[in-house]
Structure 1
Amino acid sequence: METFSKKEKEKLRQKKRKDKEEKREERKATAKKGLSLEEMMVYVDENGNITSTPPDPKRRRDINQEDIQIGVQRQEDREAEDPIRQGVVTFFNASKGYGFIRDLKSQESIFVHMNGLVDAITEKDKVTFEITMTPKGASAIGVKKVAA
């Protein structure tokens, strides 16, 4: 003996099966027949952009294999920067214990926490500091006030 809910569930299954079959048939009917090889070809131009036209052989450039750099620049290849930088305090909230310093060389804003202070600072003070990388980004440590 079948209950009403069993009959309804079976009707839903049949309807889903029928809908799925109809969609499959519709996809088969509207699907493009295979493309020719020329229609499937794509090219890369001299700037690395994908295009449908072949590149111009007159614009071809020879590239030395040793000049190609993959990955990050090696540490020994980089110039040794002066670890002590100079900047201006753009914002400092003493009650919350943090602020920001504008680096005079790179003009980037660097976070500073009161634990990284050597001298007490206020806004618009000229300071020297070192940068350390934290999980949240660059942070200033060893912050000292510069005598004006």
Structure 2
Amino acid sequence: MNKSENSGKKENLSKKEVEKRKQQKQREKQEKKEERLANSKKGKSLEDMMAYIDEDGNITSTPPDPNKKREVNLEDIQIGVARKQEEEPASLIRTGVVTFFNESKGYGFIKDQRTQESIFVHVNGLLDRVRENSRVTFEVEMGHKGPNAVRVKLTK
């Protein structure tokens, strides 16, 4: 047997394998199709397909109890997110301590006394010159990366 004959047998062998795999996939596909047809929901009654929502908002297959029915005022139904109540201007002013401030780079952080969160402060938001451990009052505005302290003043 020379080299060309040997490579021809390998090709034939792989072609046979490819054909076997192709037939196996077709059989599997046919079996899946038959299984889907057997488990299909066709032929079920409307009542079997019906779903209900109970008083807690959960989906259930049992119809609701008419004795638990309660009337709802249309004005009480709220669609969407509730509007945020405007805070009083006095409650917007917070107090805190400067925990870090880099004068050469022009930024730092203030620890809010009420929430204990660390809030970013930029030199542009300062009304007075601050250093680390300075007690300050400030307001918070949302920036691109989170809350920023603005209108920062030293407390006396």
Normalising by structure 1, what TM-score? 0.66
Q: Name the counterpart of 1:114.
A: 122
Question: Structure 2: where are the runs of 5+ without partners?
Answer: 1-7
Deviations 1:117-137 (A, max 9, x none): 3331434x5422122122333
Query: Is 1:67 aligned to residue 76 of structure 2?
Result: yes
The answer to whether the Cα contact below 8 Å between 2:126 and 2:151 also exists between their aligned partners in 1 is yes
- Which residue does 2:108 correspond to in 1? 98
1:88 to 96, 100, 103: 96
* 2:78 is the counterpart of 1:54: no
Sequence identity of aligned pairs in percent? 44
Go from structure 1 to structure 2 and tell me whether the alpha carbon gap of 1:80 and 1:86 turns closer, same or farther (over 3 Å shift).
closer
Aligned to 1:37: 46
| Cα offsets for 1:23-70 (capped at 9, x unmatched) | 3234444x2665443333322222322233333333333222122222
**Aligned length, in residue pairs:** 140
Higher helix share: 2
| Paired residue secondary structure (1:127) | strand
Name the CA shift for 1:58/1:23 in 2 (closer, same or farther; >3 Å).
closer
Give the TM-score, by structure 2 length.
0.64
Unpaired runs of 5+ in structure 1?
A: none
| Distance verdict in 2 for CA 1:70–1:59, change over 3 Å | same
Read off the aligned partner of 1:109 and give its amino acid letter: E
Please give the alpha-carbon distance, in whole angstroms, between the structure 2 residues aligned to 1:110 and 1:53. 51
Q: Does 1:79 align with 2:86?
A: yes
CA 1:39–1:26 in 2, change beyond 3 Å: closer, same or farther?
closer
CA distance in 2, matches of 1:93, 1:24: 67
Distance 2:19 2:154 in 1: 80
RMSD: 3.4
